[in-house]
A and B are shown apart, each in its own frame.
Chain A
Amino acid sequence: GDSVTQMEGPVTLSEEAFLTINCTYTATGYPSLFWYVQYPGEGLQLLLKATKADDKGSNKGFEATYRKETTSFHLEKGSVQVSDSAVYFCALSPVKGGFKTIFGAGTRLFVKA
């Protein structure tokens, strides 16, 4: 069935470092892809999305490119801040599935000052 695999965390970086969180997926056709972020004690927030191959989603300095050939949607940010410390979830919405979203296990990011 459809699934999402993320790199295991935690990821610990110093402020202003470059961030990459890897995400690969298994799905039929061209699913929509998402990154959500969860800050401590809060629900998930949509960070960015891409709905077709080669699309680039971006928001708040984060970006991810929909790569059909490698079935990947890696999250990147050029310079992280302490306030970016959170759990990041990669997710997909299957082409056929009633618009339900399947989430990865999440990757926790710690950013040190």
Chain B
Amino acid sequence: EAGVAQSPRYKIIEKRQSVAFWCNPISGHATLYWYQQILGQGPKLLIQFQNNGVVDDSQLPKDRFSAERLKGVDSTLKIQPAKLEDSAVYLCASSPTGADYGYTFGSGTRLTVV
């Protein structure tokens, strides 16, 4: 089966600019996650979708980050405006019904804010 697709792989922007990341999960996976992985740290959950509804966005900086999952399939994560501390790898993951199955991760988008 096809994996979790993410684009772009790399992005360099200046602070205060905006950026968007795209994720296409594995077909049939109801749950989609966005994680932020800062260099040298473990991934931190930003937002969790179940189908097209938000389950958990408690750690999403809502003043600058937004995410949507239209029609319960693809998802977009946006940052506007970006700050230097947003430099990280943004990982998308999906799972069939719950985390007990484990996640399938995409390759991530490495964002550098200069």
A106-B42 in contact (CB<8A): yes
Interface size on B, residues (CB 8 A): 28
Contact with A along B1-32 (1 / 0, CB 8 A): 00010100000000000000000000000010
A100-B56 in contact (CB<8A): yes
* Interface residues, chain B, with chain A CB atoms under 8 Å away: 4, 6, 31, 33, 40-45, 48, 50, 55-56, 91, 93, 95, 97-100, 102-108
B41-A106 in contact (CB<8A): yes
Query: What residues on A are CB-neighbors of B106 within 8 Å?
Result: 43
A98-B48 in contact (CB<8A): yes
A51-B100 in contact (CB<8A): yes
- A46–B103 Cα distance when bound, in Å, is 7
The 10 lowest CB-CB distance pairs between A and B, nearest first, are A103-B42, A43-B105, A99-B99, A93-B99, A99-B98, A46-B102, A44-B105, A43-B107, A98-B55, A105-B42
A104-B91 in contact (CB<8A): no
Q: Look across to chain B and name the residue whose beta carbon is closest to the beta carbon of A106.
A: B42
- A65–B82 Cα distance when bound, in Å, is 42
Most chain A beta-carbon contacts within 10 A, residue among B42, B45, B93: B42
- A106–B95 Cα distance when bound, in Å, is 21
A:29-79 near B, CB below 8 Å: 32, 34, 36, 41-46, 49, 51
Please give the distance in Å from B104's CB to the nearest CB on chain A.
Answer: 7
Please give the distance in Å from B1's CB to the nearest CB on chain A.
Answer: 14
- A59–B91 Cα distance when bound, in Å, is 23
Q: Given the known A-B contacts A98-B48, A99-B31, are A104 and B42 also in contact in the complex, defined by CB atoms under 8 Å?
A: yes
Query: What residues on A are CB-neighbors of B50 within 8 Å?
Result: 98
A:1-34 near B, CB below 8 Å: 4, 32, 34
